[in-house]
Amino acid sequence: LMEKLFQYRFKGKSELAGHSFGNLFIAAMTEVTGDVETALRESSKVLAVKGEVLPASKEHVRLDAIMDDGTVVEGESHIPEVHKHIRRVKLFPPHVQPVQAALDALTNADAIILGPGSLYTSIMPNLLVDGVADTLRKSKAIKIYICNVMTQPGETDGYTASMHAKAILDHGGQGVIDYMLVNNAPISKEMQAYYAKEGAYPVEVDEDAINALGIGFIKADIINESDVIRHDPQKLCRNVMKMVDGMRPGNGSDHYMRGKHG
């Protein structure tokens, strides 16, 4: 029930419409505790969260997008509304202090997983915080990007799997991804038709183009198709751990540099 509550987005036409309860909870905790790092730590205690949640930065920033036609769209929520191809995203102000604990976690990690999530508005902002991408590149951890299953209207229209990865490399630099995990489970015609009405389509896995970027990939069934298409947590966990274990030195990881079915 708590999981459903925190994922719930308000409906209707009120000022709350479109906002998730989870985001509102964090926003309220931030005002109560004074900063987002403390808010996340205290929220984890209240909710008995396993593991540790760290922000990339404690500073207030705005996410802007530069479109292919040169126009600049200010604010995360406005970016998908203009329906133009995004050239790159940036933070305003452009330089913000990172949270040292987050940098330490990247440095000391055995594996770093990027995603799943909106390419430009969820994953990319973390890489734009000063020091994060640099620390990520230098980390000796295995870096795996979990590619989106469907394109996102107004954000990744027409994007293939390699285009998702290339966008991350363009923003974070070569070395922020070693491998990517992509879905190979078929999506029903009924579900494809449902998503097509919203302008979303299955992400094509263009294998040669992925390898041309200098990264490997694994194809596996990682989705749960019910009323919507989502990454299945158990399938995702199982495949990520297989990748991490299989890529450890001495475990014959070379074959992962080309496509492999999970």
DSSP 80-95: GGS---EEEEEEESS-
Q: CA angle, corner 243, sides to 187 and 115, nearest 5?
A: 60
- Which three-class secondary structure state does DSSP give residue 204? coil
SS (H, E, C) 122-164: HHHHHHHCCCHHHHHHHCCCEEEEECCCECCCCCCCCCCHHHH
pLDDT at site 1: 84
SS3 249: coil
Question: d(Cα 212, Cα 237) in Å, to the nearest integer?
Answer: 27
CATH superfamily of 98-261: CofD-like domains (3.40.50.10680)
State yes or no: pLDDT of 255 exceeds 70: no
Q: What are phi and psi of 83, to 5 degrees?
A: 55, 50
pTM: 0.87
- Which ranges in the chain are annotated with CATH 3.40.50.10680? 98-261
Question: In what helix (H) or strand (E) does residue 72 lie, and over which residues does it extend?
Answer: strand 72-74
Residue 262: pLDDT over 50:
no
The average confidence (pLDDT) of the chain is 91
- Nearest by Cα to 171 from 120, 112, 106, 100: 120
Under the banding of pLDDT at 50, 70 and 90, the label for residue 162 is: very high
pLDDT at 251: 57
pLDDT reported for residue 257: 46
Q: Encode pLDDT of 192-235 as tens digits.
A: 999 999 999 999 999 999 999 999 999 999 998 887 888 999 99
d(CA 100, CA 81): 34
